[in-house]
Amino acid sequence: MANPFKPSAGSTPPLLVGRGEVLDDFAAALADGAGAPGRLAFVTGARGVGKTVMLTKMGDIAHAEGWVVIDETATGGLIDRLTRSVRAARHETGVLDRPRTRGFSFGIATLGTISKDYELAPADPHDLRIEIGRLLDSPIMADGGLLITVDEIHTIDTDELEQLAAITQHLIREDRNIALVMAGIPQAVDQLLADNAQRPRVSTFLRRAEMVVLGKVDEADVADSFLQTARDADRAWPAEIARECATATGGYPFMIQLVGYHTWRTEQGTEITNEHAQRGIAVARRKIGQLVHAPALQDLSDVDKTILVAMAQDDGPSRSSDIAQRIGKNTSYVSVYKGRLERSGLIEVLPNGTLSFSTPELREYLREHAAHYAMATTGPDEVAP
Ligand SMILES: Nc1ncnc2c1ncn2[C@@H]1O[C@H](COP(=O)(O)OP(=O)(O)OP(=O)(O)O)[C@@H](O)[C@H]1O
Ligand SMILES: [Mg+2]
């Protein structure tokens, strides 16, 4: 039997742990009718926390309610691709184009008259709004709407963002059945807001979007999901061992799939043993660095990384004053970065003000790669936003 776990970016897991409330809220936003706040949303959270999967699940909900769902990534040409997809969806609903061709005829003395139909160039940006209107006017869309999901929002081109904002705002104002959910890491969302502060239309649009911040999930729910997955496959996974595996995930979604996959995979018989679990956990710990931590660290500034490396010297939560001392700065300098790192989802600031890592194995990964990441300690100060 195939391994049910899916430890790769964007793959839908066998069981989605701990996101029931977010999905219920989204379903309610669809049911609440045009203009419901949750219909314009940003899904954000650290790398590997499950943003792409959340877009897929939201799409499934909308689809089940009879909506048309279009999933896109924010790379160049977004508006053009959306226009084409909406047009294709409209064709599927049975509403075809009015004749969109224009006849040309011209005479060439010796050959007589040649005439040909030329198709009009498609996908002029302002077509998108018209196309969406025509799709939603289709009789079979009477009860449904259109959900557009846009992943990797940091790659969006400013002009395309402006167009998307204008189109969405018009459609919302017209009480159209439309929902737009965008996803990206918190730094990208912050950056979008900062970059567009001087563009009233875009910044109002971005600020109106509901923020859906994804974090880690409850370890008890992770253990339950392991047990459920085993039951579904008729395999024995003793509760004690499932709990230990769950603890090793730290409730971190990518790690759930890694531990699940490598534990499951190591078995030969019908029962998952402690030995399988220990091996699975060890492999998962090795893999998460390259799959999640390396790309997450790449998103950060040198000072952010230096602070994380300084934190990794501690075996538990770090005090700001110790970090400041280690990097040769004062505590107010550290506190600016502390806020940034907390928003990125990589660390938590505990009630007593100490800093703790949020993702499993990040400390160990940083210790191993300290030489590579701690480069800014003696460099010039960065200006924090
Ligand atoms: N709620 C969840 N329960 C169990 N597994 C999950 C959950 N959410 C995501 N996963 C798993 O975690 C991994 C990462 O998910 P996903 O690719 O959606 O993360 P992401 O936030 O989009 O990451 P990135 O920022 O790198 O794009 C996938 O293997 C997915 O199956
Ligand atoms: Mg993703």
pLDDT at 109: 45
* Atom of ligand 1 lying closest to residue 54 CA: 18
Shared domain for 223 and 208, answered yes or no, is: no
Q: Is the CB of residue 20 below 6 angstroms from any atom belonging to ligand 1?
A: no
Shared domain for 236 and 320, answered yes or no, is: no
Which among 22, 52, 217 is the best mutation to test ligand 1's pocket, defined by most ligand atoms within 8 Å of the CB?
Answer: 52
Q: Is the CB of residue 258 below 6 angstroms from any atom belonging to ligand 1?
A: no
Smallest CA separation from ligand 1 atom 31, residue = 13
Smallest CA separation from ligand 1 atom 8, residue = 50
CA of 181 to the centre of ligand 1 (A): 16
Among candidates 212, 204, 131, which has minimal Cα distance to 162? 204
Asked, for residue 120, whether it belongs to a domain, the answer is no
- Residues within 5 A (CB) of ion ligand 2: 51-52
pLDDT at 372: 81
Shared domain for 45 and 169, answered yes or no, is: yes
Shared domain for 263 and 317, answered yes or no, is: no
The list of the chain residues with pLDDT below 70 reads 98-125, 266-268, 374-385
Alpha-carbon span 99 to 295, nearest angstrom: 49
pLDDT digits (tens, 9 = 90+) for 231-289: 999 999 999 999 999 999 999 999 999 999 999 976 667 899 999 999 999 999 999 99
pLDDT at 268: 67
- CATH number of the CATH domain containing 336: 1.10.10.10
Asked if residues 333 and 281 have their Cβ atoms less than 8 Å apart, the reply is no
pLDDT digits (tens, 9 = 90+) for 112-146: 444 444 444 445 657 899 999 999 998 888 889 99
Shared domain for 278 and 308, answered yes or no, is: no
Smallest CA separation from ligand 1 atom 15, residue = 50
Shared domain for 78 and 158, answered yes or no, is: yes
State the residue for tokens 């550290």. Answer: 334
Which among 6, 153, 182, 256 is the best mutation to test ligand 1's pocket, defined by most ligand atoms within 8 Å of the CB?
Answer: 256
Q: Is the CB of residue 7 below 6 angstroms from any atom belonging to ligand 1?
A: yes
Shared domain for 92 and 228, answered yes or no, is: no
pLDDT at 96: 75
Shared domain for 223 and 333, answered yes or no, is: no
Domain assignment of residue 275, given as a range:
219-291
Q: How many domains does the chain have?
A: 3
CB half-sphere exposure, 298, CA atoms < 13 A: 8
- Please calculate the CA angle 274-276-278 and round it to the nearest 5 degrees: 70
CA of 6 to the centre of ligand 1 (A): 9
Element (H, E) at 158: helix 158-173
The 10 Å CB-count burial string (b at 16+, else e) for 201-219 is: ebbebbeebbebebebbeb
- CATH number of the CATH domain containing 81: 3.40.50.300
Structure tokens at 266: 């190591």
CA of 83 to the centre of ligand 2 (A): 23
Asked, for residue 379, whether it belongs to a domain, the answer is no
Q: Is the CB of residue 19 below 6 angstroms from any atom belonging to ligand 1?
A: yes
Shared domain for 285 and 303, answered yes or no, is: no
Shared domain for 226 and 344, answered yes or no, is: no
A 10 A CB-CB count for 41 gives: 24
